[in-house]
Chains A and B, each alone.
Chain A
Amino acid sequence: MGLRGLLPGRRPRPTPGTALADLAEASAVDRGTPLAEVQLLALDLETTGLDPRRHEVLSVGHVPVVQGRIVLAQARHELVRPQGPVGESAVHHGLTDDRLAHGPDLALVLPGVLEALRTGGGEGVRPVRRVLLAHFAQIETAFLSAACRRLYGTEVPLQVVDTLTLAQRMLRVPTPELASGRLRLDACRRHYRLPRYRAHSALTDALACAELFLAQSAELAEQHGRPLRLGDVLAR
């Protein structure tokens, strides 16, 4: 970290040349951009729990949404070797210590995720960020932020669309009642009669979330009676 990072009142900047620095260099997407032109990255993490200070990431799945289409060719799924045992959490995600033993450390997986969170750019074209898309996105943002702080010493710049927040808004549910089950990913998909996914993995859930988002944004556009802009769906 350079001197500037120590100056008071200045946010630390990521070390140049790292995946996080490349992401920070990419342009943010304006809220007024037509949604059809916004690229998103549906992301799902399987973790040992909900608290990034105590729990660990076990697998990462992501798939981009480009021009309203989910691009399966760019779907990725990685298992991550945790520092500690998975313990009781295996009940939820089905990932065992044995299966994860040969996976890479999060430090090796994270750059791939950060890279997927922006477009490639090219000759004279500045890369653009992809908007992070997740269901109950706090988990993904919290773990991603914690990992970036730990590995790069700085925050990750994120724009987020949360299908859970959208569902709350569209169904006018006052409080996020995760336990009620009404807004769980599966339940939201059932609302749109999307096919049922039997297995759960980080990638399946990322894909399921992306499909849900396509259905939600189609309904929302109909409600608004006009094409959506990013600002219409952005959580933050």
Chain B
Amino acid sequence: MDVELAEIRDFLAEHAPFDALPADVLDRLPARCTVSYARRGTVVLRPGDRGDRLYLVRSGAVDITDDGHLVDRVGAGGGFGMSALVEHVPTRYAATAREDTLLLELPQPDFDALVAEHPSVAVHFAATHHGRITAAIAQLQAPARGSAVLKTSVRDLLRVDPVSVAPSATVAEGARVMTEAGVSSLLVMDGAALLGIVTDRDLRRRVLAAGVAPDRPVQEVMTPDPVTLPAQALALEAMLEMTGRNIHHLPVVEDGRVLGLVTTTDLVRLERSNPVYVVADVQRQADVAGVVEQAARIPAVVGQLVREDASAADVGRVVAALTDALTRRLVVLAESALGPAPGRYAWAALGSAAREEQGLGGDQDHALVLADDADPSDPWWAALAERVTEGLEACGLPRCDGDVMATNPRWRLRVGGWRVQFGRWSDEPAPDAVLQAAIFYDMRAVHGDADLVEGLRAEVVPLGGRSDLLLAHLTAQAARMRPPIGFFRGFVLEDAGEHRDTLDLKRGIAAIVQLARVHALRARSTALGTGARLTAARDAGLIAAEAATDLTDALELLSYLRLRHQAAQVAAGEAPDNHLDPRRLGSLDRRHLRDAFAIVRAAQHGLSSRSPQVG
């Protein structure tokens, strides 16, 4: 049958999940569809309607609402009506044409057959977000972990354009070019064609030792047709080639074009970006300037970890460990300058540093917890705080806007003082104080007497967990941080239907952090990490196991996308931030983000409907 519905077929082929279907399945799909039209304002689906077809927006846009609240805005290529199809229940949502809309409809039996035969379609239209995002993370991160040489391609090692001369250049000219460029090897190129390579060692052995005149053409002393590597070769392969052939320079080619040169130094540097080396190097520094110098390596370490597909949770721990190392070294240097501390104390990290969930570009949050027999008015404490804070600032960690730092005398308290302070937050929390208080429930000793912090938390966490007022305020805070609904035509779609052109990942992350914090507090758990807090809340029966898993996955996804974004910014010489351009996100990332937002929103909804309310 010569049914030419090529336009419909091509439309389907451009959009997920149909784009992944085999050609013959795609060919047959248009003839299963009907086409309908909805004038602007027309209600296509009403809550309670039995769904009997999948709707795909061919042109125009449709708003999906739940009890009047915008849940999604679907543009060309998007679908709706699937939840009723998948769950075989009447639809919860209303679908209203926002613009004049042409709809392609796939009847239930054909939809069922497609889902049954093609798992990718089933996953795409899965009724719940649960599982889908887990699968997404598995796709993002290769499960196998290994050393950098196994993960990095030589393309990623290339730094500068290769230095080259024409074959007719003299040896003396070649040596001059190498000296000026500060390189130890020189490519001999005829236009784009690689003819040979000359290294420092060649100049020594084939020129000086052999008594060749410096005015001879460089091509007489070069190594012709040198060994090259394709750009996608792994650093490991470069290492094997170099050791096997006893060479130190390998040109990297792609499509017959020389991209650059990999040297043994590059490979050594690659292994040195292992965070273990960085921590060890930080500990060896004798002054603040040395510590600052080592801190400059952190963005590269994170970039390397992202390339190695480490999970965001792992990267968060590594960044925390590196920040801890900087802090410890700065404290130790301050102690040796100021003399011994006038009492037992702990330097405590607060917020994301305490939870070990840091990204790049975060600021400093810390406090001092002094033993009850120490004197808080001793100027030594302020001097320590100022030195360390200044050092961290020089290391690229800006001071906290809210002055939540050990330099602030309010946050240099004895254990007893902290107990009073936490008691105030539990007993008479003014709404404004809550935002400030929340961060102190994330507290971890970095240096000094860790028992002081642990003992304090063991007392004040159950105290906060018993305070309905504090829990209500924290709950309200967690429910206020609304992540966007999703994306529409390259914009971020917000609650009220407005469009934004940047996506602030921090809002989604903060919402999950706040949810986990209030759940953990209610469970009276002293767990610090968001994942551990959610597990504690699950074990205490406060949230469903599925919700705990979903939120952990959503946090991982958001944090991972943030890290990937920040690593790219660092690589491009920009300052890392939390703002993504939605137009530069792939359709898959957009889908996964939508799922993550939906998980957060569902958890916020569950929290606010079950918790004590602020009056």
Q: Is the CB of B39 within 8 A of A222?
A: yes
Interface residue SS majority, chain A? mixed
Once bound together, how far apart are the Cα atoms of A211 and B38, in whole Å?
Answer: 11
Taking a contact as CB atoms under 8 Å apart, the answer to whether A194 and B34 are in contact is: no
Q: Are B36 and A195 in contact (CB under 8 A)?
A: no
Excluding A73-B32, A199-B7, 20 further A-B contacts by CB distance (< 8 Å) are: A68-B36, A68-B37, A69-B105, A70-B36, A72-B32, A73-B31, A75-B5, A192-B100, A193-B59, A193-B60, A195-B11, A195-B102, A197-B7, A203-B3, A207-B5, A207-B7, A207-B8, A207-B35, A214-B35, A214-B36
The closest CB in chain B to the CB of A214 belongs to: B37
Q: Which residue of A lies closest to B59 (CB)?
A: A195
Contact pattern, B 29-51, Cβ under 8 Å of A = 1, otherwise 0:
01111111111001000000000
B2: interface (CB < 8 Å): yes
Query: Is B99 close to A, CB under 8 A?
Result: yes
The reply to whether A77 and B32 contact each other, CB–CB distance below 8 Å, is no
Residue contact A69 to B36, C-beta cutoff 8 Å = yes
A72 touches B5 (CB 8 A): yes
Contact with B along A193-213 (1 / 0, CB 8 A): 111011101011001001100
How far apart are the CA atoms of A76 and B38 in the complex, in Å? 25
User: Could you tell me if B2 and A204 are in contact, using CB atoms closer than 8 angstroms?
Assistant: no
Assess whether B100 is in contact with A193, with CB atoms less than 8 Å apart: yes
- The yes or no answer to A162 lying at the interface (CB within 8 A) is no
Which residue on B lies nearest to A66, using beta carbons? Answer: B34
| Chain A residues with CB under 8 A of B60 | 193
**CB proximity of B292 to chain A, nearest CB, Å:** 58
Measured CB to CB, the residues of A under 8 A from B are 61, 68-73, 75-79, 192-195, 197-199, 201, 203-204, 207, 210-211, 214-215, 218-219, 221-222
CA A192 to CA B36, docked complex, whole Å:
14
Q: How many residues does chain B have at the interface if contact means C-beta atoms less than 8 Å apart?
A: 27
Closest A residue to B99 using CB positions: A193
Find residues 301-354 in chain B having any chain A CB closer than 8 Å to their own CB: none
Complex: how many Å from CA A72 to CA B33? 6
Residue among A73, A198, A210 with most chain B CB within 10 A: A73
Chain B neighbourhood of A193, CB < 8 A: 59-60, 99-100
Contacts of A203 in B (CB 8 A): 3-5
B7 in contact with A198 (CB, 8 Å): yes
- Please name all residues of chain A whose beta carbon is closer than 8 Å to the beta carbon of B31 when the two chains form the complex: 72-73, 75
Which residues of chain B have C-beta atoms less than 8 A from A218's C-beta? 37-39, 42, 100
Q: How far is the CA of A219 from the CA of B97 in the complex (A)?
A: 14
B37 with A215: CB separation less than 8 A:
yes
Among A201, A210, A214, A219, contact of B4 (Cβ-Cβ < 8 Å)? A201
Judge if B192 is at the interface, Cβ distance under 8 Å.
no
Interchain Cβ contacts under 8 Å between A and B, 10 examples: A71-B34, A72-B30, A76-B3, A193-B60, A204-B7, A207-B5, A214-B35, A214-B102, A215-B102, A222-B39
Closest residue on chain A to residue B6 by CB atoms? A199
**Minimum CB–CB distance for A96 against chain B, Å:** 16
Contact of B39 among A77, A201, A219 (CB under 8 A): A219
Q: Kindly list chain B residues whose C-beta atoms are within 8 Å of the C-beta of A70.
A: 34-36
Contacts of B39 in A (CB 8 A): 215, 218-219, 221-222
